[in-house]
Amino acid sequence: MKSFTPPNRILLGPGPSNVHLRVLEAMSKPTIGHLDPKFIELMDEIKELLKYVFRTKNEVTFAVSGPGSVGMETCLVNLVEPNSKVLVCINGVFGGRMKSIVDRCGAEPIELKVSWGRAIDPNLFEDTLKKNKGINVCSFVHAETSTGAKSDIKTLTEIAHKYNCLVIADTVTSLGGIPVLIDEWNIDVSYSGSQKCLSCPPGLSPVTFNERALEFIKSRKTQVQSWFMDLNLILSYWGGSSKRAYHHTAPINSLYALHESLLLLKEEGIENSWKRHKTNGEKLVEELEKIGLKPFVIEDERLPQLTAVTVPEGIDEAKVRKSLLDDYNIEIGAGLGELAGKVWRIGLMGYSSNEENIKACVGAIKNIFGK
Amino acid sequence: MKSFTPPNRILLGPGPSNVHLRVLEAMSKPTIGHLDPKFIELMDEIKELLKYVFRTKNEVTFAVSGPGSVGMETCLVNLVEPNSKVLVCINGVFGGRMKSIVDRCGAEPIELKVSWGRAIDPNLFEDTLKKNKGINVCSFVHAETSTGAKSDIKTLTEIAHKYNCLVIADTVTSLGGIPVLIDEWNIDVSYSGSQKCLSCPPGLSPVTFNERALEFIKSRKTQVQSWFMDLNLILSYWGGSSKRAYHHTAPINSLYALHESLLLLKEEGIENSWKRHKTNGEKLVEELEKIGLKPFVIEDERLPQLTAVTVPEGIDEAKVRKSLLDDYNIEIGAGLGELAGKVWRIGLMGYSSNEENIKACVGAIKNIFGK
């Protein structure tokens, strides 16, 4: 066995996205202790930078030491008590994952099923809340990574609050790529991932909790079922006080990387990042349509940072992906779940979202098609 | 805010330990996808290398995508069913953490409390199993990071098996530093951490499960309470089959680092690593005794890779640690839990375990003491 040398991929899948050299360099700086005063300073800066990207003043805004799925589970296990009712919107793989977690919390998931590739319909959402008494938490995905569909979480949150529900919004694929306005939209709890539009290596999940959510958690009647994900315990380490206590050993170097990737985003300006993602996403669709490929999601509900493309009849989709990877060093994503074999997912996220990559990708597909 | 430049610390605390330049360089290689065939090859190599360090043929040997605490919780939530009885040995912070997790699983933790700083007494262990019918899982810590005490997990496992119990052994601080012979000792389940004697940045938890444990998990009557930690789901990604399915996005670059740190360990030879830790641990105690400092743990139960040192009367222990950090760039650990203020913890783990570090540390303490 030898040291590993990864190929130099252009990452145009559903994440991870390509990582800026500055971020990779930050990650390789010498490890220091998780209670080192210099590291505590870094944690404080990361919290500030995350507040910037989440557009929030929430004090409890930090990075969970695990991938986005751990962020999802952290938000749910803290908010969901056994025997409670949770409205779970399912318009793709990640809504389904939320349901499974709610189930494992001993709560009752009330499902709102929506066609894959479509946004969550606010009217159906309100109907579900009307019909089912006793729901106290609603969860939905802003940008469904499995389909490329965007839901209007501002409106969903307004409705949920009318029915006295807290909301948990999955912003894994949206944060940094399209507006996520936690405070303006009154989102109670949200989790994201480092490896999408933040262009950091995978392994961290930024989260934010507002005061309403924290009060709710404090008034829980039962213990949070996970030790690692119990917010009360995590906050002894990530919390606001100057005296930080050991909870777990943070992934030091991964946090160096997150800090640098957030700095890059701040240097660009988040509005500019949204604009860049929008422009490039529209350009990609335009170019794909020129070679006869059709976006799977209707224009109004389409994410600019992740485009699901319908696989044309008679095409062996896996062969196309293999050729892109082997002959062009380009990774795009396969369909997931019920879309397996039916779509490709082309991501233009974070540092991967640029014109060169659109040209490279569309050009390569065109070549493979022999056009 | 600026890019972060960490100080160049000599890490002689309870982990993280210093990371070899080759490992830091590996970590900064370009990110690739978590389903990239090249990454799958890397995962397979990591599994092989982990089998080497765990001294096991267990097929289910991989790295959990989270710090050691997630490894601990993963092992427990898979093996512990609600309303079952689990013998939890508590001779430090980490046994206490296990108890809290067992509790959160809705099971009954039967505590065997041992003085902090002492090994778990096999006779008391057997007595507890005799007195309490219906225990089916026993958990204990091999190398208590909070005290520096080593327990004889070979003997504990023999006893547990006599009573038809499965064992979960915490080898977070032992793996790579002292012999951990999973197969020879018949350990059913074990978890470790990347940042101790493996000298990799924190964020990953190597785990191993034998056939007996896997059968037990398959025959569970209830669902594992954590989605992220459900072994049945994780194995769709890390399992043996050539077709890997998406479960979560692995922390790609952290796994590059783990691969390289395991390669380094294999190049040295694990027996040589054990020997190096032993020699340096003994040398440290010798040098500390010369300046009047006493090890907290009796010789027979003392870990070579982590030495708890009794803080002498009249010494402000925090001030000494602060001076070591500020004036010498040396990190040592404070006491945890009931040992807070009473001991220092000096680690010589992995790449940090060398003669220069012993000289630097003891020399610095001597200076601070004004001797």
Under 8 Å between Cβ of B84 and B142: no
Nearest one of A54, A138, A129 to A95, comparing CA atoms: A138
C-alpha–C-alpha distance, residues A40 and A219, integer Å: 29
Please tell me which residue of chain A has the smallest CA distance to B101: A227
Smallest Cα distance from A162 to chain B, Å: 30
Locus of tokens 């057997």: B126
Please tell me which residue of chain A has the smallest CA distance to B33: A16
For residue B170, give every residue at least 6 positions away whose Cβ sits within 8 Å of its Cβ, in sequence order, or none.
Answer: B72, B94, B98, B139, B140, B141, B142, B143, B190, B191, B192
Structure tokens at B10: 């000599």
CB contact under 8 Å between A13 and B33, yes or no, is yes
Backbone angles phi, psi at B366, to 5 degrees: -55, -45
On the 0-12 / 13-18 / 19+ scale of CB atoms within 10 A, B173 is: buried
Nearest one of A60, A78, A75 to A240, comparing CA atoms: A60
Which of B266, B296, B325 represents a domain boundary (last residue)? B266
Structure tokens at B363: 């020399």
On the 0-12 / 13-18 / 19+ scale of CB atoms within 10 A, A243 is: exposed
C-alpha–C-alpha distance, residues B230 and B153, integer Å: 26
Judgement on whether residues B151 and B214 belong to the same structural domain of the protein: yes
- Tell me whether B6 touches chain A (CB under 8 Å): yes
Residue B46 within any structural domain of the chain? yes
Structure tokens at A189: 């709890």
**Crossing angle of helices A252-268 and B252-268, rounded to 10°:** 150
Judgement on whether residues B260 and B244 belong to the same structural domain of the protein: yes
Which CATH number characterizes residue A279's domain? 3.90.1150.10
Judgement on whether residues B172 and B30 belong to the same structural domain of the protein: yes
Judgement on whether residues B243 and B365 belong to the same structural domain of the protein: no
Judgement on whether residues B160 and B291 belong to the same structural domain of the protein: no
Please name the residue ranges forming H helices in A55-121.
68-79, 93-104
Residue A162 within any structural domain of the chain? yes
Q: DSSP state, B197?
A: T
pTM of the predicted structure, to 2 decimals: 0.98
Smallest Cα distance from B29 to chain A, Å: 7
Counting the structural domains of chain A, the total is 2
Residue B327, number of CB atoms within 10 A of its CB = 11
Query: Which residues 275-304 of A are in CB contact (within 8 Å) with B?
Result: none
Residue B337, number of CB atoms within 10 A of its CB = 13
Judgement on whether residues A230 and A281 belong to the same structural domain of the protein: no
Residues of A in contact with B249 (CB under 8 A): 15-16, 67-69, 193, 195, 202
Which of B17, B20, B28, B200 to mutate to test binding with chain A, by most A CBs within 10 Å of its CB? B28
Residues linked to residue A309 through DSSP beta bridges, in sequence order: A295, A344
Alpha-carbon separation of residue B236 from A202, B47, B240 (angstroms): 19, 15, 8
- Tell me whether A201 touches chain B (CB under 8 Å): yes
Name the residue facing B227 among A26, A30, A101 (closest C-beta). A101
Judgement on whether residues B90 and B227 belong to the same structural domain of the protein: yes
Judgement on whether residues B332 and B202 belong to the same structural domain of the protein: no
Which of A266, A284, A311 represents a domain boundary (last residue)? A266
Which CATH number characterizes residue A215's domain? 3.40.640.10
Judgement on whether residues A212 and A69 belong to the same structural domain of the protein: yes
Residue A1 within any structural domain of the chain? no
CB contact under 8 Å between B6 and A30, yes or no, is yes
Contacts for A103-109 with beta carbons within 8 Å, 24 or more apart?
A103/B223, A104/B223, A104/B224, A104/B225, A104/B226, A104/B227, A105/A76, A105/A77, A105/A80, A105/A81, A105/A225, A105/B225, A106/A82, A107/A80, A107/A81, A107/A82, A107/A83, A108/A83, A108/A84
C-alpha–C-alpha distance, residues B20 and B3, integer Å: 22
Structure tokens at B66: 């989270």
C-alpha–C-alpha distance, residues A248 and A233, integer Å: 10
The identity of residue A86, as a single letter, is: V
Please name the residue ranges forming H helices in A92-249.
93-104, 122-131, 153-162, 211-218, 231-238
C-alpha–C-alpha distance, residues A249 and B66, integer Å: 10
- Tell me whether B67 touches chain A (CB under 8 Å): yes
Smallest Cα distance from B123 to chain A, Å: 30
- Tell me whether B13 touches chain A (CB under 8 Å): yes
Q: What is the pLDDT along chain A (371 residues), one digit of tens a residue?
A: 999 999 999 999 999 999 999 999 999 999 999 999 999 999 999 999 999 999 999 999 999 999 999 999 999 999 999 999 999 999 999 999 999 999 999 999 999 999 999 999 999 999 999 999 999 999 999 999 999 999 999 999 999 999 999 999 999 999 999 999 999 999 999 999 999 999 999 999 999 999 999 999 999 999 999 999 999 999 999 987 667 889 999 999 999 999 999 999 999 999 999 999 999 999 999 999 999 999 999 999 999 999 999 999 999 999 999 999 999 999 999 999 999 999 999 999 999 999 999 999 999 999 999 86
Residue B4 within any structural domain of the chain? no
Residue A5 within any structural domain of the chain? no
B113: domain range? Answer: 21-266
Residue A302, number of CB atoms within 10 A of its CB = 20
Residue A3 within any structural domain of the chain? no
Judgement on whether residues B279 and B312 belong to the same structural domain of the protein: yes
C-alpha–C-alpha distance, residues B269 and A216, integer Å: 53
Residue A60 within any structural domain of the chain? yes
Q: What is the pLDDT of residues A109-135, one digit of tens each?
A: 999 999 999 999 999 999 999 999 999
Q: DSSP state, B81?
A: P
Judgement on whether residues B42 and B152 belong to the same structural domain of the protein: yes
- Tell me whether B24 touches chain A (CB under 8 Å): yes
On the 0-12 / 13-18 / 19+ scale of CB atoms within 10 A, A325 is: buried
C-alpha–C-alpha distance, residues A152 and A159, integer Å: 11
CB contact under 8 Å between A15 and B336, yes or no, is no
Nearest one of B312, B334, B328, B317 to B362, comparing CA atoms: B328
pLDDT mean by block of 10 residues, chain B; 371 residues: 97 98 98 97 97 98 98 98 98 97 98 98 98 97 97 98 98 98 98 98 98 97 97 91 84 98 98 98 98 97 98 96 98 95 98 98 96 60
Residue A26 within any structural domain of the chain? yes
Q: What is the pLDDT of residues A15-43, one digit of tens each?
A: 999 999 999 999 999 999 999 999 999 99
Judgement on whether residues B128 and B241 belong to the same structural domain of the protein: yes
**To which H or E segment does residue A165 belong?**
none
Q: DSSP state, B304?
A: S
For residue B84, give every residue at least 6 positions away whose Cβ sits within 8 Å of its Cβ, in sequence order, or none.
Answer: B107, B108, B134, B136, B137
- Tell me whether B39 touches chain A (CB under 8 Å): yes
Which of B248, B266, B284 represents a domain boundary (last residue)? B266
- Tell me whether B327 touches chain A (CB under 8 Å): no
